[in-house]
A and B are shown apart, each in its own frame.
Chain A
Amino acid sequence: MTDSPLSAPTARRRLARGSGGDRPFEAVVALAALTVLVVLTAAGVSMFLGGEPAFKAFGLKFFVSTDWDAVNKQFGALIPIYGTLVTAAISLLVGVPASFGIAFTLTETAPRWLRQPLMVAVELLASIPSIIYGMWGLFVFAPFMAAHVEPWLNDHFANTPLLSDLLTGPPIGIGMLTAGMILGVMIIPFISSVMWSVFTAVPAHLKESAVALGATRTEVMFKVILPYTRNAVVGAIFLGLGRALGETMAVTFVLGNAHDFAKSLLMPGNSIAAVIANEFTEADSDLYRSSLIALGFVLFIVTFLVLAAARLLLARLQRIEGAKV
């Protein structure tokens, strides 16, 4: 067929379509792009299937029970879920103000020559592998907390209502407070870089108008920049939250892998990621393993929702301003 001379319409059609290699090439790249979708979907489905026996065996009790008893095969996830939420909350308390401070300094007050080195330093913090955070936490930071911070907390908050339950306890260093603080430092680069990049995307004429009216730099930030970038700032915080919820190695070292409920933040606790990391290879029954995978499924869904919300909040500003986030 290729030997016969092409009729004019066929030749035109073929020219429009491109040469023979185009269709296969497009099919191959489309297939590659599809892999991204397949990976995420398959991960969700396989975790659900793996966790199904545990969900079936325990039902809703899986989420509200504090039993974690490998011998009697009773598994309830409340302690790890609680620990995940508490450490993530502490990390936001540490990470969000620090990130905002860095972003404010970088966009408004730092001299120009200092900006580049500061950004590199923050990036450096992001590139340190989480296992090093964990190891440093175990050998350096936990002893520091035990020797200096926790005795101080015990001395000063013993009689404060509400806080005394949370902030006093045995000063052993290993615990939810220590883990939350390390997580807080870990998420600073993620939150601050996004904040910084959306702050710089605010149109200059808005800021200049405010300055012309006599606003201070702080007032420009709180009354012009923040209202303008509110969605993206919340998105940045959600991005950090997603990281904090799923972080494994940094917290596994310093949480203590405890399965008892403790009101005090100074007491050892657990988190979803840490319990999986600690116990999965030792899980000796199918139900045990399935319970851990079920926990993984819960973590997967929660971080998926948080990250999806973050991306949607960020996408809006990105579309308007072309901010690089």
Chain B
Amino acid sequence: MRPFRLHEPTTVQEAASALADAGGGAALYAGGTELLLAMKSGLLAYDTLINVKSISGLDAIAADGNSIVIGASATHSAVEHDPLVRDRLPLLSEVEHGVANLRVRNVGTLAGNLCFAEPHSDPATLLLVYEAELDVAGPSGSRRIAVGDLQTGSYETSLGPDELLTAVRVPAFQAGVRAAYSKFGYHHRPTLGIAAALAVEDGVVADARLALGCVSPVARRLSRSEDVLRGERIDALTEGASALREVSRLASEDADAVEDMHGGVDYKEHLVRVFMERTLLRALAKNGGGDA
């Protein structure tokens, strides 16, 4: 690997200034599980890496009202095992357990996963149904964006060159929400990810949030499919029900699936139809309420 220098700021401000001063010659480094692979292979080269982990307090996971705030240097393993996350966001804990392998989870961060903007990401898909928000800081202050506004394309984000993600804010689902996540694939990263969260009141779907990821460059909510589910009686939503078929058909139409090393468009659209119905049935089966 080409030599680099290590910069270890202790504050967010210092990190943002260092990014600004470097004018593209520096990159943020958290776990390095993506960055260092890209640098080893010569795909990326930087004179300086700015260590996010040296910024004090960024590894914290804490409650803020109804949300859990996950600092940018919290690893996948830290998120998975955190007592607050397990208690209030059990589906996030479950999905984090399914990311990569144990060694990558012990080192790689949730924030690094989102900021790398690799199209095949489990959390980027799941966090859409939680309607998570991101705290972003730059030299002139901080701003808060919806998680869906981070990724703009394959490996592309809306972050400015001198901005960093400082925290992921995840609101817990309201009581009575039934939620599930499915992933499928034979590669290291998932070929498909589907997240569903259904608010059920008096046996009727009062609200539905559906997200689809990995089959196209950027994960998305599926508003046409969500609309079909709203108002449906849940006892009619059984295997093969016409409403489920319709939801799945619309999902595959709205997927904008692209061909890549994981497969062709037809294959991915087929996966979307099969896994959308399965994910909804799994979510609905959680009739004790709660999200995992």
The judgment on whether A and B are partners is no
